[in-house]
Amino acid sequence: MRPLSFNQATAKYWPLVEVVKGCEGAGVRHVGLWREPVEEYGLARSAALVRDAGLTVTSLCRGGFFGADDWFDNNRRALDECAELGAPALVLVCGGLFGRTLADARGRVAAGLAALAPYALDVGVTLAVEPMHPMFTADRSVVASLSGALDLCEPYPAEAVGITLDTYHVWWDEQVLPLIGANGDRIACFQLADWVVPLPQDVLVGRGLPGSGHVDFTPLVEAVLATGYDRPIEVEVFNQDLWNRPGEEILKDTIAAYESVMT
Amino acid sequence: MRPLSFNQATAKYWPLVEVVKGCEGAGVRHVGLWREPVEEYGLARSAALVRDAGLTVTSLCRGGFFGADDWFDNNRRALDECAELGAPALVLVCGGLFGRTLADARGRVAAGLAALAPYALDVGVTLAVEPMHPMFTADRSVVASLSGALDLCEPYPAEAVGITLDTYHVWWDEQVLPLIGANGDRIACFQLADWVVPLPQDVLVGRGLPGSGHVDFTPLVEAVLATGYDRPIEVEVFNQDLWNRPGEEILKDTIAAYESVMT
């Protein structure tokens, strides 16, 4: 079984020190990190913390939001942070319309990648465009499908611009399996989360641990592994009820959920 | 400007007789109908009502739900109802997972179309598969994109199996404009509704009148018209606040909204 990477957003309120200690104790050797808790603890300190615990960082979230005024400097800083943490991929949530038409907003994402790709190559970190579920197109990311994300990658080598593939965002897509098969080299980070209905009032925080919802994980996991994907697989779940529980319990349930869909 | 067809679901609580009278008075010559209000008023009576008012029926909603036990008989009845009403298209909401995997559920839709297509040709009504927004894939329709819907159409002549294209469901899709351009003959019914954020608690009833949300209508309308689409264009909006208003007002606002995005 590919090793699990525990994305710390799954236990949003668990302090970074506890996340690292918990993973160490549970035999989880990989973590996905977020910029805010890393900044809070200190970048150099965070890097030392995970390194001293023998953990590797599979991704840092998030860059993107190309509609924001400071997008260029902010994304360069995020790439620097990845490099210092040893994270191979910067997850890009590319931003919604910000008052533009869809075509213009997508053009801005493409221009942003063009501006950042050389620096990504310089620091050895992949800009990992995350296609997001189309219910987030207006306000969170205009990159709405794996097909659209791959088109954005196309001008660049896979080391510079790749994909964050999250089952929650792409499971519904009729084209996802053949597109994975044909573009395995683009997958910089693979994340698991489940689709649960009904959606809650805030649709951002209604995801489920793998196996608790409607996603058929087996074909998706098999398609990714068949491409030769050799990195750990993250579980990243935004769920208010889950977040409200103790971090140790969340980690334990995450491990069990991961194993249940990977066997 | 292509003529407007008023889909009666936009004024859910307005009795059919009033809808017809309202459209007649407002110079709207086309309506989209739903099976429940037609059944309530009586099929033959409904057909006579719209015919005597000089209206044409652009679609009947809905068939589909291939996971239901009586799907075969029910869809055949719906095709008969279309024929009697003079509706050229039966809108198909194909149904969610119903406990199956996504691949199996999609296979069931394909098998359902195969079983129904000959009868559709016999009665001269198109089975109009509606790709639905991917937030409905689990519980409402496993047909989640125009690409997926077109694949389902492919074995059949366009008179038998086509598409209901609703801007609300497809506006986010990176591939939608070229796919419309290459498959105009498949579009049996074109519907407009807008995407409004934030989504309400019940995501089914959060659509907006055209122009009130984030959809960029111009390229979508131009792409459809460029294929030679020569039918009226429906406005079909599910919105609880809109439904709570008097039917006359809803119709008036619908006409204004339609004109605002079509000019």
Give the helix ranges, DSSP H, for B15-101. Answer: 16-26, 35-41, 43-52, 71-85
Q: What confidence score (pLDDT) does residue A69 get?
A: 93
Residue of A nearest to B217 (CA): A101
- Amino acid identity for residue B252 in this structure: K
Q: What confidence score (pLDDT) does residue B263 get?
A: 82
- Tens digit of each residue's pLDDT, chain A (263 residues): 999 999 999 999 999 999 999 999 999 999 999 999 999 999 999 999 999 999 999 999 999 999 999 999 999 999 999 999 999 999 999 999 999 999 999 999 999 999 999 999 999 999 999 999 999 999 999 999 999 999 999 999 999 999 999 999 999 999 999 999 999 999 999 999 999 999 988 889 999 999 999 999 999 999 999 999 999 999 999 999 999 999 999 999 999 999 999 98
How far is Cα of residue A164 from the mean position of the Cα atoms in its chain? 5
Distances from the Cα of B75 to the Cα of A40, A124, A261, B110, B120, angstroms:
59, 57, 37, 14, 10
For residue A175, list chain B residues with Cβ-Cβ distance below 8 A. 145, 147-148
Query: Yes or no: is domain A4-262 CATH 3.20.20.150?
Result: yes
How far does the CA of residue A98 sit from the closest CA of chain B (Å)? 10
Q: Do A172 and B219 touch (CB under 8 A)?
A: no
- For A136-154, give the DSSP string: GTTTTBS--SHHHHHHHHT
Residues A126 and A159: beta-carbon distance below 8 Å: yes
Separation of alpha carbons A125 and A144, rounded Å: 23
Residue of A nearest to B135 (CA): A135
Q: Do B133 and A137 touch (CB under 8 A)?
A: no
- Name the DSSP class of B206: B
Separation of alpha carbons B50 and B56, rounded Å: 7
Give the helix ranges, DSSP H, for A8-68. Answer: 16-26, 35-41, 43-52
Q: Do B199 and A197 touch (CB under 8 A)?
A: no
Q: Pick B139's closest partner by Cβ from A148, A151, A197.
A: A197
Residues B141 and B102: beta-carbon distance below 8 Å: no
Using only the alpha carbons of chain B, give its radius of gyration: 17
For residue A216, list chain B residues with Cβ-Cβ distance below 8 A. 101-103
Separation of alpha carbons A81 and A120, rounded Å: 12
Q: What confidence score (pLDDT) does residue B247 get?
A: 98
Phi, psi of A195, rounded to the nearest 5 degrees: -100, 120
For residue A146, list chain B residues with Cβ-Cβ distance below 8 A. none
Separation of alpha carbons B71 and B168, rounded Å: 26
Separation of alpha carbons A6 and A99, rounded Å: 35
Q: What confidence score (pLDDT) does residue B201 get?
A: 87
Q: What confidence score (pLDDT) does residue A31 get?
A: 98
Using only the alpha carbons of chain A, give its radius of gyration: 17
pLDDT along chain B (263 residues), means of 10: 97 98 98 98 98 98 95 98 98 96 97 98 98 97 98 98 98 98 98 95 92 97 98 98 98 98 92
Q: Pick B199's closest partner by Cβ from A145, A203, A219.
A: A203
Residue given tokens 């008969």 in the structure block: B80
**Across chain B, how many H-helices and E-strands are there?**
11, 10
- Name the DSSP class of A245: S
- Amino acid identity for residue B48 in this structure: A
Given the DSSP bridges, would you call strands B194-195 and A4-7 parallel, antiparallel or unpaired?
A: unpaired
- Name the DSSP class of A231: S
* Pair of tokens at residue A138: 């207006």
- Name the DSSP class of A183: -
Q: What confidence score (pLDDT) does residue A263 get?
A: 82
* Pair of tokens at residue B165: 């294209």
* Pair of tokens at residue A33: 């990190």
Given the DSSP bridges, would you call strands B161-166 and B126-129 parallel, antiparallel or unpaired?
A: parallel
- Name the DSSP class of A205: G
Sign of the CA dihedral B149, B231, B184, B219?
A: negative
Residues B109 and B66: beta-carbon distance below 8 Å: yes
Strand ranges (E), A77-193: 89-93, 126-129, 161-166, 187-192
Q: What confidence score (pLDDT) does residue A38 get?
A: 98
Q: Do A214 and B148 touch (CB under 8 A)?
A: no
Chain B residues touching chain A at CB-CB below 8 Å: 97, 101-103, 106, 133-135, 137-139, 144-145, 147-148, 151, 171-175, 195, 197-199, 201, 203, 213-214, 216, 219
Q: Could you tell me which residues come within 8 angstroms of residue A57 by beta carbon, excluding any fewer than 6 positions away?
A: A30, A31, A32, A33, A50, A85, A86, A87
Phi, psi of A229, rounded to the nearest 5 degrees: -55, 120
Measure the N-to-C terminal CA separation of chain A; round to a whole number of Å. Answer: 8
**Across chain A, how many H-helices and E-strands are there?**
11, 10
* Pair of tokens at residue A117: 């790709």
Q: Could you tell me which residues come within 8 angstroms of residue A220 by beta carbon, excluding any fewer than 6 positions away?
A: A167, A170, A171, A176, A177, A180
Q: What is the ipTM of this complex?
A: 0.95
Q: Do A138 and B214 touch (CB under 8 A)?
A: yes
